[in-house]
A = this chain, B = another copy of it.
Amino acid sequence: MHSRGMANGIQERIKKLIIDRRLPSGDPLPTETELMELLGVSRNSVREALKALQAMGIVEIRHGFGTYVGPMSMAPMIEGLTFRTVAGHYRGEDSLLELLELREAVETGLIARLAGRVPASDLAELESLVARMEDEAGTGAVHADTDRAFHATLYRGLDNTLLSEVLEAFWDAFHRVRTDLVAPGADPKVICRQHREILEAVRSGDAARAEDAVREHFGDIRGRLRRSA
């Protein structure tokens, strides 16, 4: 399967080193010089391997300080998804729409499992987020952060940090591409109404209603996306 080429093998050996030593995120790795002697390869090869691992989020490099085990976040996935979507968009594909539909499919599928099961504390937080949203809608446009926080808080109730990270990654990639490529142009009041409806539906425990609410929310974004294309 792997070990084609030396650099690739070096990556594997550094990964193995992290596994074998049970290093948690943030722990220091050997210096470049040490890895060089440890693996018996040149400094350059070590650096190329580390660069690749850094791109995958496995390793974190701090200039003048050292190399550390990375946060293992979904950041690299966001990076890759974003580029893939932007590149596709400029080649005339509906890649942004496809990304949105991915989010829609996953989130409408998950919301039913969530109806009536969101902890009271999260409901309160969602309430205050919608309130802030309405506040922002009065003065201008809704901040992207508020929308992000709403979705993140909503799916936190599923109690799976990996799932939450993946959903947030999808959100990030979508919004990064969206703000870069197409005009925003959303009616803030409509946005608020839709988010409030999602919140109320989830609070009431009506799964079907919640699904409809999420579907309408995404349908609205989808419509605006299609119109601007």
List chain A positions with a Cβ less than 8 A from chain B. Answer: 5, 7, 15, 18-19, 22-24, 44, 47-49, 51-58, 63, 72, 76-77, 79-80, 83-84, 86-88, 90-91, 95, 98-99, 101-102, 105-106, 108-110, 112-113, 158, 160-163, 166
The docked-state distance in angstroms from the alpha carbon of A5 to that of B64 is 12
B-side contacts of A23, CB under 8 Å? 87
Taken together, the copies of this chain in the complex come to 2
Q: B77 to A18, Cβ gap below 8 A? A: no
The docked-state distance in angstroms from the alpha carbon of A158 to that of B106 is 11
Q: B76 to A19, Cβ gap below 8 A? A: no
Nearest B residue (CB) for A54: B52
Q: Which of B5, B47, B83, B90 interacts with A56 by CB under 8 Å?
A: B83
Q: Which of B54, B58, B77, B163 interacts with A105 by CB under 8 Å?
A: B163
Most buried by B among A98, A102, A109: A109
Nearest B residue (CB) for A155: B105
Sorted nearest first, the 6 A-B pairs with minimum C-beta distance are A109-B109, A52-B55, A55-B55, A72-B84, A48-B51, A51-B52
B-side contacts of A79, CB under 8 Å? 56
Q: A58 to B86, Cβ gap below 8 A? A: no
Other than the given A19-B86, A101-B162, 8 more pairs (CB < 8 A) read: A22-B91, A24-B91, A49-B51, A52-B54, A58-B83, A102-B160, A102-B166, A109-B109
